[in-house]
Amino acid sequence: ERGFDHTAIEPHWQEVWDEADVFRIEDDATDPEYVLAMFPYTSGSLHMGHVRNYTITDAFARFERMRGESVLHPMGWDSFGLPAENAAEERDTNPRDWTLGCIDSMKEQLTEMGFGYDWEREVTTCDPDYYRWNQWLFKRFDEAGLVERQGAELNWCPSCETVLADEQVEGEAELCWRCDTPIEHREMDQWFLTITDYAEELLDSLDDLDGWPNNVREMQRNWIGKQEGASVAFEVGDYGAVDIFTTRLDTIYGATYFSLAPGHPVAQEIAEDNDEVADYIREVEHADEDDLEVTSGVFTGEYATNPATGEEIPVYVADYVLTDVGTGALYAVPAHDDRDHEFATHHDIPIEQVVEPTEDAAVDPEDIDVQETAYTEDGVLVNSGEYNGLTSEQARERFVEVFDGEHRTEYNLRDWGISRQRYWGTPIPMIDCPDCGYVPVPDEDLPVELPEFVHTTGNPLDAAEEWKHVDCPDCGADAVRETDTMDTFVDSSWYFLRYTSPALDDAPFDTERATDWMPVDQYVGGIEHAVMHLLYARFFTKVVDDLDLLSGGVREPFTNLTNQGMVLGADGNKMSKSLGNGVSPQRIIEEYGADTARLFIMEAAQPEKEFAWSAEGVQSAHSFLQNVYELTADYVAGDVETGERDDIAEYVAREIDATAARATEEYEEFRFNHALQAVRELVSLLRRYEEATDPAPETFERGLVTVTKLLAPVAPHVSEEIWQELDNDGLVAEADWPAGEAPEDYEVERRLVEDTREDVRDIVDTVGIEDPQRITLAVAPDWKHRVVDIAREADNVVPAVMQNEDLQRHGEAA
Ligand code: ANZ
Ligand code: ZN
Q: Which pLDDT band, with edges at 50, 70 and 90, does 805 fall under?
A: very low
Q: Answer yes or no: do 628 and 687 share one domain.
A: yes
Domain for residue 714, yes or no? yes
Q: Answer yes or no: do 95 and 205 share one domain.
A: yes
Ligand nearest to the CA of 480: 2
Q: Answer yes or no: do 313 and 169 share one domain.
A: no
Q: Is the ipTM of this complex over 0.85?
A: yes
pLDDT in tens, 332-379: 999 999 999 999 999 999 999 999 999 888 889 999 999 999 999 999
Q: Answer yes or no: do 354 and 438 share one domain.
A: no
Interval 317-337 mean pLDDT: 95
Q: Which pLDDT band, with edges at 50, 70 and 90, does 766 fall under?
A: low
Q: For helices 787-795 and 646-668, what crossing angle results, to 10°?
A: 60
Do residues 602 and 59 touch, judged by C-beta distance below 8 A? yes
Alpha helix locations (H) across 669-745?
672-692, 697-711, 716-725
The residues whose Cβ lies within 5 A of ligand 2, an ion, are: 433, 435-436, 472, 474-475, 477
Say what the pLDDT of residue 798 is. 38
Peptide bond into 713 cis (omega under 30): no
| Nearest Cα to Cα of residue 57 among 521, 688, 681 | 521
Domain for residue 569, yes or no? no
* β-bridge partners, 167: none
| Nearest Cα to Cα of residue 658 among 670, 646, 650 | 650
Ligand nearest to the CA of 410: 1
CATH number, position 630: 1.10.730.10
CA of 190 to the centre of ligand 2 (A): 20
Q: Is 246 in the pocket of ligand 1 (CB under 6 A)?
A: yes
* Residue having the nearest C-alpha atom to atom 20 of ligand 1: 321
Say what the pLDDT of residue 775 is. 41
Does the pLDDT of residue 692 top 80, yes or no? Answer: no
Domain for residue 418, yes or no? no
Domain that residue 798 falls in? 746-813
Say what the pLDDT of residue 800 is. 36
Q: Is 251 in the pocket of ligand 1 (CB under 6 A)?
A: yes
Among 110-119, 212-221, 541-550, 757-766, the least confident range: 757-766
Domain for residue 277, yes or no? yes
* β-bridge partners, 232: 244
pLDDT in tens, 236-271: 999 999 999 999 999 999 999 999 999 999 999 999
Domain for residue 4, yes or no? no
Q: Answer yes or no: do 203 and 174 share one domain.
A: no
Q: Is 331 in the pocket of ligand 1 (CB under 6 A)?
A: yes
Q: Answer yes or no: do 120 and 216 share one domain.
A: yes
Q: Which pLDDT band, with edges at 50, 70 and 90, does 574 fall under?
A: confident
Q: Is 247 in the pocket of ligand 1 (CB under 6 A)?
A: yes
CATH number, position 329: 3.90.740.10
Does the pLDDT of residue 518 top 90, yes or no? Answer: yes
Q: Which pLDDT band, with edges at 50, 70 and 90, does 795 fall under?
A: very low
Ligand nearest to the CA of 251: 1
Q: Answer yes or no: do 317 and 329 share one domain.
A: yes
Q: Answer yes or no: do 164 and 208 share one domain.
A: no
Q: Can you list the pairs that 97-105 forms with residues at least 24 positions away whose Cβ atoms lie under 8 Å?
A: 99/42, 99/126, 99/424, 101/44, 102/42, 102/43, 102/44, 102/45, 103/42, 103/77, 103/79, 105/44, 105/45
pLDDT in tens, 9-54: 999 999 999 999 999 999 999 999 999 999 999 999 999 999 999 9
Q: Answer yes or no: do 313 and 348 share one domain.
A: yes
Q: Which pLDDT band, with edges at 50, 70 and 90, does 641 fall under?
A: confident
Q: Answer yes or no: do 167 and 285 share one domain.
A: no
Q: Can you give the pTM of this predicted structure?
A: 0.85
121 DSSP assignment: G
Q: Is 326 in the pocket of ligand 1 (CB under 6 A)?
A: yes
Sign of the Cα torsion 442, 445, 450, 456 reads negative
Mean pLDDT of the chain, nearest integer: 90
Rg, the chain, Cα only: 34
Split into its structural domains, the chain has a count of 6
Q: Answer yes or no: do 132 and 235 share one domain.
A: no
Q: Answer yes or no: do 121 and 163 share one domain.
A: no
Say what the pLDDT of residue 745 is. 54
Percent of the chain's residues with pLDDT above 70: 90
CA–CA gap between residue 577 and residue 581 (Å, rounded): 7
pLDDT in tens, 729-760: 999 999 999 976 665 555 555 555 555 556 55
* Residue having the nearest C-alpha atom to atom 27 of ligand 1: 246
Domain for residue 350, yes or no? yes
* Residue having the nearest C-alpha atom to atom 8 of ligand 1: 247
Domain for residue 571, yes or no? no
CA of 418 to the centre of ligand 1 (A): 28
Does the pLDDT of residue 728 top 80, yes or no? Answer: yes
SS3 578: coil
* Residue having the nearest C-alpha atom to atom 30 of ligand 1: 246
